[in-house]
Amino acid sequence: MAIQSRPFGRTQDGTAVTCWTITNRSGGYVSVLDYGCILQAIAPALPGRQPLDVVMGFSDPAGYEAAGGFIGATVGRCANRIIGGCFQLNGRSYPLFCNEGKNHLHGGRIGFSKRMWTVTPGLNENSLRLTLFSPDGEEGYPGNLWVHVTLTFTDSNELYFDTDAVSDADTVFNLTNHSYFDLNGGFTEASACAQTLWADAPFYTPVDTDGLVDGTLRPTAGTVFDFSRETALAPRLAQENVQLASVGGFDHNLVFAPGDGPKAVLHGLATGLRMEFFTHSPGMQLYSGNYLRVSTGKGSTPYGRRSGVCLEPQFFPNSINLPQFPAPVLRANIPYHNRTLYRFCAG
């Protein structure tokens, strides 16, 4: 195992960015930036194969800043949308910065995705620890919040994404990572949407014509959201469906069944690479990259609409305002821990 760092250029405001890379004994590697805790590369190396980078990314900060889309970024304090940009907690109203019309999205104007994180070696030779402090009142959220993300990449091509946090006051906390995957490796709509998906998700949260959750749960069985059998994404996206039409494709929260085991499996048939996805989170935003801008990524790879697929572990959208959903409330001085595991193997 080896951990190396290298300069990665500067942001528009002149801040120097560093890229840190964990390399396993098979030559597989994971790279993360101290800017936005961005997963810049995930390249598993299966026995007898060369490493294959399976996430969208850029070669400098300017690429991320121009492309938008939260590509590879760690987002918070609260992932997804808070409708109306306001929530109630302990009898008090907290207005937030609205960065998507009248709604608050992925942490607001700056959010964790545009902050500089502090990187230190983890407890093991194959791990890195990224730390961020979010002061009371930032983006409108209460409480001084300390966040730690520990990335561990094993010789078995397992990437652990461990989140630890503590706040000195009750607050909202719903962290996720916004990486776009293409296990087929082409990063075109045809390639990314040829991936198959299995998900242990008996319900989903429908959206209205504005793409906002309506507060209900619906069964996935027999719908375009039924991934109880491994299913290619492209034929589903081609179906006429009111839910898909409202957001231009998949941009929906899938509700996981309780229990252990993988919650989803993404499969690239062209490469035979599978990603088993485990998480403690109750749901996952399935996003088919419907609004990705045209850009040029790593290795001069052209990106565009639907050139990657997101599996974002999370509490349900707007759940802080919907008491029927699990609430993303982090209580004062009570440590929080969550783990997401991406396990890569031959399919």
CB 153 within 8 Å of CB 126? yes
CA 287 to chain centre: 10
Q: How far is CA 281 from CA 61, 91, 219, in A?
A: 30, 26, 19
- ∠ at Cα 75 (74, 76), nearest 5°? 130
Which residue type is seen at 49?
R
276 is catalytic: no
125 is catalytic: no
CB 48 within 8 Å of CB 157? no
CB 53 within 8 Å of CB 172? no
From 178, 189, 252, 276, active-site residue: 178
Beta strands in 92-250 (DSSP E): 92-95, 104-105, 118-121, 127-134, 145-153, 158-167, 171-172, 176-177, 180-181, 196-199, 203-205, 218-219, 231-232
Q: Is residue 283 helix, strand or coil?
A: strand
β-sheet bridge partners, residue 342:
159, 277
- The residues assigned a catalytic role are 178, 312
